[in-house]
Amino acid sequence: MHIFESFSTPVRYAPRVLVCGGGVAGIAAAIAAAREGADVLLVERGFLLGGLATAGLVTIFLPLCDGCGKQVSFGLAEELLRLSVALSCDGKRDADPWLHSQNPQDRLPPAPRFEVNFNPQLFALQAEELLLRLGVRILYGTSAVAVSVRDRKIQAVMMEGKSGRFAVAPVCVIDATGDADLAALAGAPVVRFGQGNVLAAWYYTAGKNGYCLRPLGVADIPDEQKASAPPVPYLSSQRFSGLDTEEISAFVSLSHHTVLSDYTEKKKADPTFGEPATLPTIPQLRMTRRIAGAYTLHDSEMHCAFPDSIGMVSDWRKRGPIYEVPFRTLYSPALRNLLVAGRCTSVTDAMWDIMRVIPCCAVTGQAAGCAAAISDDIHTLSSEQLQSTLRLQHVRIHESEL
């Protein structure tokens, strides 16, 4: 059975840049675009900025360095890391050699990498304050539900929120949804993460040991890497695409059950075990869907220079690799005014596991924000012009600049 509907949707906003998704990639994109003078509208379906990093309680700002003493990611990646611990830091990842020491020798192995643990609520609140100071308009509880495309350009994005259905008619759009939702709605080619996600159930307790993260379950690694990697411990044998409503609901319920079981077991064994303090308010899904972009970055392309690089990232899992990120991984040939940022850029599965984390989301978000502020035809945007803008925002583009 189907119900056929007909809408006349009012256009309520016409910003220069529309950012869909308020995770770290969306935050970085909105900041970068606003600093270039663009009128920015940020829409977030939840009610807290930060995405998986805050609402999902994945509160580890992974390395900005290569693990061998070189900082790799700059600009907003570093600014947001410093913001995340400006008011509070739990100290589990001691970045003092990077945050306070001016001596490069202090950063050499076996020194800790440039990464921190942070308080999710404080980080979200500070990010919101920063965006508002820059004049970014934020709409919470708002989801993109349809896209109007003409001549390979997005003309309008239909939204739904508490006040009903409305449209946004932007000049340029940034898909920072994490799931390539806008790209899929607009008909751009997309790729699903075939093996699916495993269950995760991270939560916080408060007690005699303070405010503590309990990370139950880990992100799976791509199948192609399993021959040389230790087995991943699973909480459940079930897999989740992250793209189906009933499936996501089952993921959340299983996560809640896992948290309750863990707490009950630990409390029975130790009556002084802390009380549950914070639960995730979004499912802890890591890889779901990405674009098939103008270029697809492979994990074997470490230390490769790209003429259209928009910055660099490292491999959070091991020391040594440095990757330049081509601008072409941030857009599809199918659409001229849509950019993607965060964990849905154009990469292979093996590279996806590297690019999905916070620093990489900040790097791609900043580049997308700058590009959207400069041009409404991404395919014709000069790499040199974009790189010049990024350098003015304190980004280092090529490994040769380190």
Do 304 and 254 share a structural domain? no
Q: Is the residue at 4 inside a domain?
A: no
Final residue of a structural domain among 212, 245, 278: 278
Domain count, the chain: 2
- Residue 333: the pLDDT is 97
pLDDT (average), residues 379-397: 98
pLDDT category at 148 given cuts 50, 70, 90 is: very high
Domain hosting 264: range is: 203-278
Q: Cα separation of 285 and 243, whole Å?
A: 10
Q: Is the residue at 5 inside a domain?
A: no
Residues 6+ apart with CB under 8 A from 181: 20, 21, 144, 175
Final residue of a structural domain among 258, 278, 298: 278
Q: Is the residue at 311 inside a domain?
A: yes
Q: In CATH, what number is assigned to the domain containing residue 188?
A: 3.50.50.60
pLDDT higher than 90, residue 344 = yes
pLDDT higher than 90, residue 88 = no
pLDDT category at 220 given cuts 50, 70, 90 is: confident
- Residue 227: the pLDDT is 73
Q: Is the residue at 1 inside a domain?
A: no
Measuring CA to CA, which residue among 229, 227, 207 is closest to residue 218? Answer: 229
**Quick one: how far is CA 311 from the chain centroid?**
16
- Residue 230: the pLDDT is 73
Residues in the chain: 402
Q: Is the residue at 397 inside a domain?
A: yes
Between vectors from CA 364 to CA 360 and to CA 367, what angle results, nearest 5°? 145
Q: Is the residue at 171 inside a domain?
A: yes
Number of other residues whose CB lies within 10 A of the CB of residue 101: 13
Do 144 and 98 share a structural domain? yes
Q: What percent of the chain has pLDDT over 70?
A: 99
Judge contact between 361 and 330, C-beta under 8 A: no
pLDDT category at 159 given cuts 50, 70, 90 is: very high
Do 296 and 367 share a structural domain? yes
Bridge partners (DSSP) of residue 160 are 143, 165
pLDDT higher than 80, residue 373 = yes
Final residue of a structural domain among 230, 259, 278: 278
pLDDT digits (tens, 9 = 90+) for 100-136: 998 999 999 999 999 999 999 999 999 999 999 999 9
Do 365 and 295 share a structural domain? yes
Question: Cis (ω within 30 of 0) for the bond into 110?
Answer: yes
Burial degree of 164 (CB within 10 A; 0-12, 13-18, 19+): exposed
Do 136 and 69 share a structural domain? yes
pLDDT (average), residues 229-257: 92
- Residue 7: the pLDDT is 83
Provide the residue type at 369 as one letter. G
pLDDT (average), residues 30-39: 98
Judge contact between 169 and 13, C-beta under 8 A: yes
| Mean pLDDT, the chain, whole residue set | 95
Measuring CA to CA, which residue among 391, 313, 345, 46 is closest to residue 174? Answer: 345
- Residue 92: the pLDDT is 73
Q: Is the residue at 316 inside a domain?
A: yes
Q: Cα separation of 294 and 249, whole Å?
A: 34
Do 378 and 256 share a structural domain? no
* Choice between 90 and 279, residue whose per-residue pLDDT is larger: 279
Element spanning 250, H or E: helix 245-269
The pTM of the full predicted model, rounded to 2 decimals, is 0.97
Q: What percent of the chain has pLDDT over 90?
A: 91
Do 243 and 375 share a structural domain? no
pLDDT digits (tens, 9 = 90+) for 38-57: 999 999 999 999 999 999 99
Q: Cα separation of 78 and 80, whole Å?
A: 5
Do 187 and 52 share a structural domain? yes
Residue-by-residue DSSP string for 253-319:
HHHHHHHHHHHHHHHHH-TTPPEEEE--SS------EEE--SS-B-TT-TT---TTEEEEEE-TTSS
Do 59 and 113 share a structural domain? yes
Do 102 and 22 share a structural domain? yes
pLDDT higher than 80, residue 280 = yes
Residue 391 tokens read as 């350098």
CA-derived radius of gyration, the chain: 21
pLDDT higher than 80, residue 270 = yes
Q: Cα separation of 385 and 369, whole Å?
A: 14
- Residue 223: the pLDDT is 81
pLDDT (average), residues 254-261: 97
Element spanning 213, H or E: strand 210-214
pLDDT (average), residues 188-200: 96
Q: Is the residue at 116 inside a domain?
A: yes
Do 376 and 305 share a structural domain? yes
Do 119 and 72 share a structural domain? yes
